[in-house]
Structure 1
Amino acid sequence: MTSPQTVADANAAIQAGNNAEGERILKVILADQSKPNDEAQLKEQESALTRLGELYRDTHNAEALAEAVRSSRTFMSAIAKAKTAKLVRTLIDLFSGIPGSQQIQIQVTKENAEWAKNEKRIFLKQNLETKLIALYFEAKSYREALPLIESLLKELKKLDDKMILTEVHLLESKVNHATKNFPKAKAALTSARTAANSIYCPPTLQAQLDLQAGVLHAEDKDYATAYSYFFETLEGFALQEDARAPLALKYMLLCKIMLNLSDDVNAIIGGKYATKYAGRDVEAMKAVAKAHEDRSLEAFESALKTYKDELSNDPIIRNHLSALYDTLLEQNLLRIIEPYSRVEIAHVAKEVKQPVREVELKLSQMILDKVFHGILDQGAGCLVVYDEPQEDKTYEVTLETLKHVGNVIDSLYKKANKLS
């Protein structure tokens, strides 16, 4: 009589390059119902299911992974609820290693959340819905995320589960920030911090709270405070060996660039964290810092093109660098037009190495914002610059005098009434 095959046999087959045989063995283990309540068999099946999921992830087979999750529900009904929650989350997280599987991951998470609801596994349902909100956020499906956040928060507040409540409020803050609803984003972060203060907050979650706080302070142009939060984030992620540590370092460098502290940027780049997380992210911020220090639009644009993935694909970096580019362009234009009372727009465009149309639009905006005084003579293709108008205070002084005269007359009128 042959002994039953094990996960170790499947691993041996996979390592030998025979994925099909390994898959077959794992499926046989999962289908075995000979000892339905045996702890050893359930543990072996749990290992088999996880290994099968990892195999599908490694072979980028999202559909097969989705089917494995769906077909495992019968088995999951037989194991402890706490183990089920961990196992389902582990399997769903495996989709992250498969390129282009985001929509399948969302669908599988929704299906499992519905299954957990029907099975009255409330803890698992809430965990899966929290994961689903995170997936919606990553997919930029904010319209789907917001109502789910609202309904989940109502449940969590009744149950007073502070840990999940912290996570959901943090996600709420991120989604509202992404939709430009900054007051709600700040309120949600405050709620997340309040919930986190009443429990033991894991270091990784605390680092995420600090990261979001830094992002929101940066939106308020309070880059000094944002920097301190990003520094806390970096230390938190670094201690946990979290892959998001380089992101915190990048945001730290961004804050110093926005504060025009090039010496601090160089000090950070030469420090231990930049050395540890050296790579294109640090190089990208170094190039931006150099361009900003030199007030060079050309170098700035070159950095944006060279490090497109590191700079333009991150919405937070992109938004702040866009504002920085705008300021840099404005400073360059003011420097060039300063000696002139009348100058050709084409000449200004040539000096800043930008298209004429873009320079024309920027000059028009600067005039409307009263950065300087002048008009655009588009017929002649020229900019006419006026001297700073002297403010005539005669009108204000006259109004103030009339106000005092009015007060004197009112006072005399009241005294005359008393005498009569």
Structure 2
Amino acid sequence: MPAAHDLEAAHALSKTAPAQAVETYKALLAASNGKSEDGIRAKETSITRLGELYRDLKKPDELAALIRSSHSFLLTVSKAKTAKIVRTLIDLFSDIPDSLPLQVEVCKETIQWAVSEKRIFLRQSLETRLCGLYLENKLYTESLALISTLLKELKRLDDKNVLVEVQLIESRVFHALKNLAKSRASLTSARTSANSIYCPPLMQAALDMQSGILHAEEKDYKTAFSYFYEALEGFSSQEDRRAVLALKYMLLCKIMANLAEDVHTIVNGKIAQKYTGSDIDAMRAVATAHEHRSLQEFEQALAKYKDELGNDPIVRSQLAALYDTLLEQNVLRIIEPFSRVEIAHVAALVKLPTAQVEAKLSQMILDKVLSGILDQGAGCLEVFEEQSADKTYEATLETIKQVGQVVESLYEKAGQLSA
């Protein structure tokens, strides 16, 4: 009971006096409680809570030291519980800024310890996490190499739970490499494996999220939206922080599908009301700019919410395409009444630098969106009149084809008469 009392005291101190709470947890870990069930349980709780405290205090080195010093104690608990504790502690690094290299280092060290202690399940779990860390670190070659080894082993052992997670990471790696065909294939394999077991809600939500991302890449925004909605419900039911990201992608799909007005309805809906913040505000600002067809508002939103819109590669690539389309529509509307117009005048109306507008006009001419020529000496755009297509060539080919068929028919009939 004293250990339980000390745990409660340390937990209370963690909110008011974190430094004292750290010392209390350390004392509990250093205490010699033998191998009693209560003593072991108290140490398990102390390790996890101390790790969370180091996370809140942004102390990655102390968290790494805690994991390394816990190896001897973890040998006294069950293998499944060891795997859960270690994985939880390593995942805590994710909330500490600039700690990714140290997280990779600690993960590798713990894998070596698991190998030496013949903890196969722990090793597989940590190697799966390491694949994800390689992906976050953009070490795609290392991630794919480790995934390939893991997949062979997991298929042989028929461990479907870990297999689903590894196949999902493989899909995400191929997506990061822009290999959508292989990304879809890996996701299909993950869904097939998931169908044969009980798939936990968080894993199912992660599968739905990846499905939505791939459909969005193919510009099938309606299907992508439905997958993101399923992911939002899954993450929300487990109070997972990825729910905000799923909601953000839902709003992105509505914007990309030219249904920006639906964004405000969704944000004010029951399931989305508890997810307020800068990410949702950013999507609302983009939706408003898109509704107004205003490039200036669009650029203001991109500048104001630089982190929210620029750091996410999926949002960034989709909004880049949207900005390009919006710019094209604005330029076409402005030059429509002219046969010759100054590029500087067009730039002033769209409120963008002249060089950027000139580059866009050049691209539109090459893509045959616009019929015209740039007179760079005079700084003008000459717009050609739309000429109706000459149908003579097509009509001539059709006539020749019909005459050929008539001649062949006559030739066959002549052959029948001569016979």
**TM-score (structure 1 length as normaliser):** 0.90
**Aligned residue number for residue 192 of structure 1:** 190
Distance 1:50 1:290, change over 3 A: closer
Q: CA deviation at 1:154?
A: 1.1
**Which amino acid letter does the alignment assign opposite residue 210 of structure 1?**
D
**Aligned residue number for residue 175 of structure 2:** 177
CA–CA distance in structure 1, aligned partners of residues 337 and 150 of structure 2: 62
CA contact (8 A) 1:372 1:388 kept: no
Distance 1:324 1:399, change over 3 A: same
Q: CA deviation at 1:53?
A: 2.7
Of 271-280 and 186-195, deviating more is 271-280
3-state SS, counterpart of residue 272 of structure 2: helix
CA–CA distance in structure 2, aligned partners of residues 198 and 292 of structure 1: 43
CA–CA distance in structure 2, aligned partners of residues 329 and 136 of structure 1: 37
CA–CA distance in structure 2, aligned partners of residues 50 and 226 of structure 1: 37
CA–CA distance in structure 1, aligned partners of residues 351 and 11 of structure 2: 62
Identical aligned pairs, as a percentage? 60
Distance 1:12 1:279, change over 3 A: closer
Q: CA deviation at 1:30?
A: 4.3
**Which amino acid letter does the alignment assign opposite residue 11 of structure 1?**
A
Instruction: State which of 190, 204, 207 in structure 2 corresponds to 1:206.
Output: 204
Q: CA deviation at 1:223?
A: 0.7
Distance 1:13 1:405, change over 3 A: closer
CA–CA distance in structure 1, aligned partners of residues 8 and 168 of structure 2: 43
**Aligned residue number for residue 234 of structure 1:** 232
3-state SS, counterpart of residue 197 of structure 2: coil
Question: What does residue range 4-403 of structure 1 map to in structure 2 within 5 Å?
Answer: 8=7, 11=10, 17=17, 19=19, 26-27=25-26, 30=29, 35=34, 37-403=35-401
**Which amino acid letter does the alignment assign opposite residue 349 of structure 1?**
A
For the aligned residue pairs, the C-alpha RMSD in angstroms reads 2.7
CA–CA distance in structure 2, aligned partners of residues 29 and 245 of structure 1: 36
Of 109-118 and 301-310, deviating more is 109-118
Q: CA deviation at 1:414?
A: 7.3
Unaligned runs of 5+ in 2: none
Distance 1:267 1:10, change over 3 A: closer
1:43-91 deviations in Å (ceiling 9; x for gaps): 3433343344334334333223212222322222232211211121122
Of 113-122 and 5-14, deviating more is 5-14
Distance 1:73 1:252, change over 3 A: same
Q: CA deviation at 1:192?
A: 1.2
CA–CA distance in structure 2, aligned partners of residues 282 and 62 of structure 1: 30
Q: CA deviation at 1:304?
A: 0.8
1:139-196 deviations in Å (ceiling 9; x for gaps): 2222221111111111111111111111111111111111111111111111111111
1:240-294 deviations in Å (ceiling 9; x for gaps): 2221222211111111111112332232132223322122222211111111111
Distance 1:281 1:415, change over 3 A: same
CA contact (8 A) 1:274 1:282 kept: no
Unaligned runs of 5+ in 1: none
